[in-house]
């Protein structure tokens, strides 16, 4: 069996999702078993199209893409075109994809793939709302002990939220799915806003990407140029946070990050704090930890990794 880390990327692209997918496709340490799509940043039809656009940009049209949930478990879908543009990948003009969407639904693909591999072999990498992961765990609880771990981007605690004062977008969109995932007993690594807001795409970092002069690096820089404008205005920073690539970078270079094991609970009852990730950082509840919550990042090392890898595509 290969010593590459086998992953499934669950995603709602989104410019930062696109960079995460490109980083994974450029990294031989990772074996991408498939990409599953979920409604989030934009509706499912667009996230599924965007995942295929990114695979084709990377020259990897053989990557299986499976469409999943078109709406959250219990709530109305909230999308983020005001951040990502009407396509979800506004910025560069990427051609319409020609590669197919796989016939199998994303949820069944996740279940079958985890079952087909030895225990502890498959890592799930959710970059968007957790609907597909929750549906897989609900439909097939037997897969929970077989999953190596779930490394996800979502939540925030000290940093607050980016969609409401209390909630980060991915968790807010489907808090009930997040609750299902965080109570499933699967080892979780969580990259919240507390860490992603320290990974800013400064002008110098985008210039380093453009300097590579490749079609992929040029497209990535154009994606981030568009994506940054919203957060730069919101936070008054030079550059915007690059959320989702933290998941892939953690798999490749865990030493770039630090955090601690905490108990994390998801608010599903209060409209005021709906989707809040209640992180017991100071261990005041004595509840057992269910996630390793990342808080610090070597941002220079993170961007160096992205530029070096994307230049390979």
Per-residue pLDDT tens digits for 235-292: 888 788 999 999 999 999 999 999 999 999 999 999 999 999 999 999 999 999 999 9
Question: How much of the chain, in percent, has pLDDT values that exceed 70?
Answer: 99
Mean of the pLDDT values across residues 84-100? 95
Query: What token pair was written down for 125?
Result: 């990498």
| Chain mean pLDDT for the chain | 96
Instruction: Band the pLDDT of 51: cuts 50, 70, 90.
Output: very high
Q: What is the pLDDT of residue 46?
A: 98
HEC assignment per residue over 35-96? EEECCCCCCHHHHHHHHHHHHHHCCCCCCCEEECCCCCCCCCCCCCHHHHCCCCCCCCCCCC
5-310, CATH topology level: Inosine-uridine Nucleoside N-ribohydrolase; Chain A (3.90.245)
Identify the residue with better confidence: 113 or 234: 113
∠ at Cα 148 (147, 152), nearest 5°?
Answer: 90
Q: What is the pLDDT of residue 127?
A: 98
To 10 degrees, what angle do helices 299-310 and 215-235 make? 150
pLDDT of 232 higher than 80: no
CA separation, residue 183 to residues 109, 119, 129, 156 (Å) = 22, 19, 16, 18
Q: Which helix (H) or strand (E) holds 25?
A: helix 15-25
Within 8 A by CB and 6+ apart from 140, the residues are 111, 114, 115
| Segments in 70-119 forming alpha helices (H) | 81-84, 106-116
Global pTM value: 0.97
CA separation, residue 47 to residues 51, 84, 100, 299, 308 (Å) = 6, 11, 14, 27, 26
Which of helix, strand or coil describes residue 257? strand
| Segments in 183-244 forming alpha helices (H) | 193-196, 203-210, 215-235
pLDDT of 2 higher than 70: no
Q: Are 86 and 50 in contact (CB under 8 A)?
A: no
Active-site residue, 243 included = yes
Instruction: Band the pLDDT of 1: cuts 50, 70, 90.
Output: very low
- Give pLDDT tens digits for 105-129: 999 999 999 999 999 999 999 999 9
Give dist(CA 194, CA 297) in Å, integer: 10
pLDDT of 170 higher than 70: yes
Instruction: Band the pLDDT of 182: cuts 50, 70, 90.
Output: very high
Which of helix, strand or coil describes residue 241? strand
CA separation, residue 76 to residues 40, 70, 125, 172 (Å) = 11, 10, 24, 11
Within 8 A by CB and 6+ apart from 59, the residues are 313
Between 64-68, 80-84, 210-214, the lowest mean confidence (pLDDT) is in 80-84
Q: How far is CA 85 from the centre of its chain?
A: 18
- Which residues on neighbouring strands pair with residue 30, listed in sequence order? 5
Query: What token pair was written down for 252?
Result: 């490749």
**Cα diameter, the chain:** 53
Question: How much of the chain, in percent, has pLDDT values that exceed 90?
Answer: 93
- Which residues on neighbouring strands pair with residue 123, listed in sequence order? 7, 149
Within 8 A by CB and 6+ apart from 307, the residues are 205, 208, 209, 212, 217
Within 8 A by CB and 6+ apart from 100, the residues are none
Q: Are 179 and 73 in contact (CB under 8 A)?
A: no
- Give pLDDT tens digits for 131-161: 999 999 999 999 999 999 999 999 999 999 9
Mean of the pLDDT values across residues 43-71? 98
- Which residues on neighbouring strands pair with residue 97, listed in sequence order? none
Nearest C-alpha neighbor of 11 from the set 47, 62, 45:
47
Q: What is the pLDDT of residue 169?
A: 98
Cis link prior to 179 (omega < 30° from 0)? no
């Amino acid at each position: 069996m290969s010593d590459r880390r086998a992953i499934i990327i669950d995603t709602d692209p989104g410019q930062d999702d696109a960079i995460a997918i490109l980083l994974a496709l450029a990294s031989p340490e990772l074996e991408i078993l498939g990409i599953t799509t979920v409604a989030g940043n934009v509706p499912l039809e667009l996230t599924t199209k965007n995942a295929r656009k990114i695979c084709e940009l990377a020259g990897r049209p053989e990557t299986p893409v499976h469409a999943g949930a078109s709406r959250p478990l219990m709530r109305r879908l909230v999308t983020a075109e005001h951040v990502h543009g009407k396509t979800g990948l506004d910025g560069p003009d990427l051609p319409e994809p020609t590669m197919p969407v796989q016939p199998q639904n994303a949820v069944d693909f996740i279940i079958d793939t985890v079952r087909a591999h030895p225990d502890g072999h498959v890592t799930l990498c959710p970059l968007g709302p957790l609907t597909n992961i929750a549906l897989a765990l609900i439909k097939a609880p037997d897969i929970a002990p077989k999953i190596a771990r779930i490394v996800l981007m979502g939540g925030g605690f000290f940093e607050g939220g980016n969609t409401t004062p209390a909630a980060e977008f991915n968790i807010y969109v489907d808090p009930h799915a997040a609750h299902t995932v965080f109570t499933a007993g699967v080892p979780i690594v969580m990259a919240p806003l507390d860490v992603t807001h320290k990974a800013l795409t400064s002008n110098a970092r985008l210039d380093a990407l453009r300097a590579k002069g490749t079609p992929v690096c040029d497209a990535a820089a154009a994606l981030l140029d568009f994506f940054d404008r919203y957060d730069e205005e919101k936070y008054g920073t030079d550059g915007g946070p690059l959320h989702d690539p933290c998941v892939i970078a953690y798999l490749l270079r865990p030493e770039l990050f630090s955090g601690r094991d905490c108990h994390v609970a998801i608010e599903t009852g209060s409209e005021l704090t709906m989707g809040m990730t209640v992180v017991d950082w100071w261990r005041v509840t004595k509840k057992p930890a269910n996630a390793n919550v990342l808080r610090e990042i070597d941002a220079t090392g993170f961007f160096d990794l992205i530029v070096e890898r994307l230049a390979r595509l």
